[in-house]
Amino acid sequence: MNRRDFGKAMLLTGAAALLPPSALLAATEGPTLAAIRARGALRIGVFAGTEPYYHKNLATGEWEGFCVAMGHDLAQYIGVKLELVETTWGNAVIDLQSDKIDIMFGLSNNPQRAKVVDFTQALMDNTFTLVARKDLEVTKWEEMNKPEMRVAVDLGSTQDNFARKNLPNCTLVALKSADETILALQSGRADAIIQVALLAVVTTKHLAPNVKLIIPDPHGSQPTTIGVRRDPNGEFRDYVDAWLAERRGQGKVSSWIVDSLALVGVDKAALPANLTF
């Protein structure tokens, strides 16, 4: 750097030091956060049938669940209102790409998704389980990897990806929504549903005593994260990670999850011991 360039750099540094903190933040916050502030609203994806993640109170029309609680808190942290946009696991990535939503709580990272959206640090490490008809006796995943085993999953979900990778020989009953997989199990069209543990404990409670929860060996798990629209340098991802680390340090992430389980009548003691959040 020559003397003239050095002088310019020092002038710019001095000017930056005189800027208020809000102006410095605006210069580094990236296009997603800037658009959220300009709009005055944080848009998150929601959909029914995925308690305790998302739950629509039919009596009031209000959305509840720990992902909704997190959305409210993040919106308040940014200083904007929260806007809820209905979607599905399968459509969430497209909705992030097409600017329909800004963030999708509870969206797990995988190589295909990571090509087009950014992911935060993990919210929890969620175990894959089976919600199975009561007479189904299996203890290992390999026992489900047979054509006579009909396994229901919701399209585009983490459990869909898990089944296609680990149970290629089963009869996969791939349906549009989590609610449809439950109906398939109830009607006898499926022998079991693959769900992550946090969903499975709720489904098992709702369908008791006609089903049971099985955690087959070897235990498989998937970190549950937050998907965000990609910024050039990951600015919004980093912003959300900073918020998440702060809230985890305050114990709020655990409280949001436990409170949402109580919302649907499930005690924390029903969770698998190896589920951490």
Give me the domains of the chain, ranges plus CATH numbers.
Answer: 30-123+222-268 (3.40.190.10), 125-212 (3.40.190.10)
> How distant, in Å, are the alpha carbons of 21, 40, 101 from that of 33?
16, 10, 12
Helices (H), the chain: 3-18, 21-28, 30-39, 66-78, 89-97, 111-114, 158-166, 178-187, 197-207, 235-249, 252-263
Please say whether the beta carbons of 124 and 256 come within 8 A.
no
pLDDT of residue 271: 77
Flag residues of the chain having pLDDT under 50. 1-27
- Predicted TM-score of the model (pTM): 0.76
pLDDT of residue 19: 38
pLDDT of residue 81: 98
Residue 12 CB coordination number (10 Å): 10
What token pair was written down for 246?
């702060």
pLDDT of residue 158: 87
CA end-to-end span of the chain: 49
pLDDT of residue 263: 82
Geometric angle at alpha carbon 156, from 237 and 55, rounded to 5°: 75
